[in-house]
Amino acid sequence: MANQPRCGSPASVKQRDMCSNRQTSISFSVLMLMLVSLSFAAVSVLAQESLDDSLFESMVDQYVSESWKDRAQRQADLLPGINAEGLTGSFIYVGDYEVRHEVLLPLEVLDFWVPLDTKTPAIITVDEQDALAERVEEFFAGRAPAEIDGIEVEAILGRLDFYGSDADNLAQLPFSEDVSTEGAWAGVILSYSTKGTPSRVRVTWDLFNDRIQQVRCAVYAYDDNLSMIFTPESPVYVWTNPGRPPMLPINEIHAEEIPLLWAFWHDSGVSDSEAEGILTALLRNVYRAFDYRTESDVYDALAKSVDGELLGELYLLIHESLQMQEQGGAISRIQDVEILEGQRQSLPEDSDWSENGFGYRCHWTVRGTVEHWGHIHSRTNQYEAFFAVENRQDAWKIAELEVLSQERIKFESIVRQ
């Protein structure tokens, strides 16, 4: 040992390197001891804390990448009811003619149940999105049933939309385009038809896996709302009608209700104020008919207020006017029909309805809404038209319609409270 050169003393290059390595080894050992001490200190602090939100976040980090968690939180900020804890969420809507369950799923979770089968890794094309819709509907039809008034109803896929990781407004429908699967979301809208105001609705969600262990849900039943959570232990939500009366049927407007005295002074026995009342009732009936879900039911309801020869034309006209293109052509639900001004007019003497009808020219507004993903999209249109109204077997019917002008006067989107 006495012959070994001391560190720092003149020596060969090899000996100097040996000294340098020994110093580095000592420094590294000291550093490791410091890190271990800090780690034990951190563990001690955590052991003294309760399981609060910050600790929950650290636990999530063990299973979820930071980028995934960030995307989930951003979706939570954009879409009411969704948060980073559940990484998915849903909305249940209960109405007179439809129950709807809207579910926002990470695309990789949907792929777990319904394989995307993309040709290009990490990209799902528009054609592949369209092809996927049929398989998604088939899957959810058997796995996400609803029970309405004791009858099990299969899910019908209303829409399937794909939101990229850069989506900044989920209230607006995404463009039809190829989407990167990394961080993307699928918006699945499931529809269940009802025959009228339901008394009891039972919705089940029992699709869980290692990634999805809870689904936070916002429920909108008419004007009421609440929040709940689907879990493997509690996969069912039941809504019971608190006393809301059934929708009134659409009835004919009977001509026999008009006092006969008017017949001596007015054609068809209708005054100006009565003409306005008749047309207002007919217009409301026409728009209410589109609350029904099937085309045959809509036609049956329209026939209560529209002459048979005009049925097809008026159906297409109103159906097109109710489509909200901003929401993928969804049919808006009419909230209000208001006649702004109008004037009763005589019909030409050579018309088919001059002896048992009247003409009416008016301006009116229609306000309709579409609800999706916790948002209400409202649109108000204004129209001007001339109507020929006739008495058919003691019931007033719209026999002719000429639209003179139409324009949108308001559109807005708000978060459902």
All domains in the chain, ordered by first residue: 69-240 (no CATH), 253-415 (3.10.450.540)
CA distances for 233 relative to 33, 144, 204, 218, angstroms? 46, 16, 12, 18
Q: What is the pLDDT of residues 220-244, one digit of tens each?
A: 999 889 999 999 999 999 999 999 9
pLDDT > 70? residue 300: yes
Q: What is the pLDDT of residues 363-402, one digit of tens each?
A: 999 999 988 888 898 999 999 999 999 988 889 999 999 9
User: Mapped to the 3 state alphabet, what secondary structure does the chain carry?
Assistant: CCCCCCCCCCCCHHHHHHHHHHHHHHHHHHHHHHHHHHHHHHHHHHHHCCCCHHHHHHHHCCCCCHHHHHHHHHHHHHCCCCCCCCCCEEEEEECCCEEEEEEEEEHHHHHHHCCCCCCCCCEECHHHHHHHHHHHHHHHHHHCCEEECCEEECCEEEEEEEECCCCCCCCCCCCCCCEECCCCEEEEEEEEECCCCCCEEEEECCCCCCCCCCEEEEEEECCEEEEEEECCCCCEEEEECCCCCCCCCCCCEEHHHCCHHHHHCCHHHCCHHHHHHHHHHHHHHHHHHHHCCCHHHHHHHHCCCECHHHHHHHHHHHHHHHEEHHHCCEECEEEEEEEEEEEEECCCCCCCCCCCEEEEEEEEEEEEEEEECCEEEEEEEEEEEEEEEEEECCEEEEEEEEEEEEEEEEEEEEECC
Q: Which residue has the tokens 């002896």?
A: 355
Residue 140 sits at φ, ψ, to 5 deg, of -75, -25
Alpha carbon 409 to chain centroid, angstroms? 24
Q: What is the pLDDT of residue 326?
A: 62
Percent of the chain with pLDDT over 90: 42
Q: What is the pLDDT of residue 75?
A: 47
pLDDT > 90? residue 331: no
Q: What is the pLDDT of residues 69-120, one digit of tens each?
A: 454 444 445 454 444 343 578 999 999 989 999 999 888 889 999 999 899 9
pLDDT > 50? residue 135: yes
Reported confidence tier of residue 199, pLDDT bands at 50, 70, 90 = very high
5 versus 251: which is more confidently predicted?
251
pLDDT > 60? residue 65: no
Neighbouring CB atoms inside 10 A of 396's CB total: 25
The neighbouring-strand residues paired with 206 are none
User: Mapped to the 3 state alphabet, what secondary structure does 307-375 carry?
Assistant: CHHHHHHHHHHHHHHHEEHHHCCEECEEEEEEEEEEEEECCCCCCCCCCCEEEEEEEEEEEEEEEECCE
Mean pLDDT of the chain: 78
Q: What is the pLDDT of residue 316?
A: 93
- The residue among 354, 351, 383 whose CA lies nearest residue 367 is 383
Say if CB 279 and CB 389 are below 8 A apart: yes
* Helices 311-322/272-288 angle, 10° precision: 70
* Most confident segment among 7-11, 55-59, 174-178, 363-367: 363-367
Q: What is the pLDDT of residue 46?
A: 38
